Amino acid sequence: MNFEIPAEYAELQRGVTDFIDRELRPLEERELDPEKDEVPIDLRDRVRRRSAELGFYAADFPQDLGGSDLPQLGMVLLREAAARSGCRLAAFATYGPEGPTGVLLSATDEQKKRYLVPLVSAEKSMCFALTEPDAGSDAQNIKTTATKDGGDWILNGTKHFITNGKHADFALVFAANDRGKKAQGGITAFIVERDTPGFNVGRGQVGMLEGEGQFELVFEGCRVSEEQVLGGPEAVGMGFYAAMQFLAMGRLSIGAMCNGIADYCLSLGLQYAKDREAFGRPIGKNQYIQGHLVDSLIEIKASKLMTYECAAKYDGGDSVIQESSIVKVYATEMVNRVVDRMIQVHGGMGWMRELPLERIYRLVRILTLVEGTSEIQRYIIAKTMGL
């Protein structure tokens, strides 16, 4: 088994790192307030579009849609390198919830042309509207309804915790067309454009990171044509399978991001341990401090190998249900431990907003919740074990 990173992927990592150092760091210094968490939407869009121009943003999508056909192993390494930079704007150099989703590959040709192609080029953004106040982990029990009315569908219900909900050009909305069937043909995905009558953005929901956060989306008699069903009219009832496909690949992406963030935080802790002196010598000479650093390195290496294996299996056409859940639960819990340790290494300074660790600490806490909580991941893994 070859554990070497392929030369073309290593070159890709160097390319995105150079882009970040050459263009994004100066931009961040000029236009971001270091005392605030929020990144203005226009600045996000500028980064996304520039990254798309350079071929980084959605490189794993097909060439005929504007991507580069980059395998998932390459995309994982690209995301990892971006996160390792420690640059806040680098988060928008590879797509997140606002960018293209593999679910849209099941769209009709017309839907791909109208929605997916401009997502790949970062000319448009979207949001993924699945979660509801009474249906988070239990996604098949969503209350939002889709009722047939002639050749149209009428949507009614409320979504919440929707990232990019306020700014998205369209939402991918999951609604129950038959509550009795639930996941077995009872949930449909709809592409709903922002200015559709009956589709409104509700209140903002601010979390541990300040700024606009997530949003409620409210559908009241929202009429959409059957052509807005993801995949066309024949795909009615297939929405739950589409949602699960999105979540599985999202877990792999989050794992890659966690690995990069953990690398960055470890580098900060290691440098501080070498530079900071107490009692006449660098604190890195103390075994307690060494333990924090060594344990972090061990866990990061383990997480990377899990992530690379999952990506390679996916590229080989294998099912990665178990592997993606393992990556998600381990990588997200790992990065929380690593950031916590590095704050401890820095002592009181680690808690100060003068350093990035405090903000990262708040950032990574959500990662054990999104795309399926750690508890749900363990449930999925147990099922794959025959339990």
Q: Which of 98, 216, 333, 371 is catalytic?
A: 371
Q: Is 143 helix (H, G, I), strand (E, B) or coil?
A: coil
> 7-95 in CATH: which number?
1.10.540.10
pLDDT digit string, tens, across residues 318-377: 999 999 999 999 999 999 999 999 999 999 999 999 999 999 999 999 999 998 899 999
Q: By CB neighbour count within 10 A (0-12 exposed, 13-18 middle, 19+ buried), where does 341 fall?
A: buried
Q: Where, residue-wise, is CATH 2.40.110.10 in the chain?
A: 126-237
pLDDT computed for residue 281 by the predictor: 97
State the sign of the Cα–Cα–Cα–Cα dihedral 363, 365, 371, 377: positive
The CATH number of domain 126-237, selected from 3.30.470.10, 1.10.600.10, 2.40.110.10, 3.40.50.300: 2.40.110.10
Alpha carbon distance 193, 205 (integer Å): 21
pLDDT digit string, tens, across residues 236-287: 999 988 777 777 788 999 999 999 999 999 999 999 999 999 999 999 999 9
In the DSSP assignment, the letter for residue 97 is: T
State the sign of the Cα–Cα–Cα–Cα dihedral 298, 303, 306, 307: negative
Q: Is 179 helix (H, G, I), strand (E, B) or coil?
A: coil
pLDDT digit string, tens, across residues 282-334: 999 999 999 999 999 999 999 999 999 999 999 999 999 999 999 999 999 99
Q: Can 375 be counted among the known catalytic residues?
A: no
Q: Is 320 helix (H, G, I), strand (E, B) or coil?
A: coil
Q: Are 267 and 166 spatial neighbours (Cβ–Cβ below 8 Å)?
A: no
Q: Where, residue-wise, is CATH 1.20.140.10 in the chain?
A: 241-384
Q: Where, residue-wise, is CATH 1.10.540.10 in the chain?
A: 7-95
Task: Give every CB contact of residue 74 below 8 A, 6+ residues apart in sequence.
Answer: 6, 8, 9, 12, 59, 60
Could you tell me which of 167, 164, 147 has the C-alpha nearest to residue 224?
147
What mean pLDDT is reported for the chain? 94
CATH superfamily of 241-384: Butyryl-CoA Dehydrogenase, subunit A, domain 3 (1.20.140.10)
Task: Evaluate if residue 71 carries a pLDDT over 90.
Answer: yes
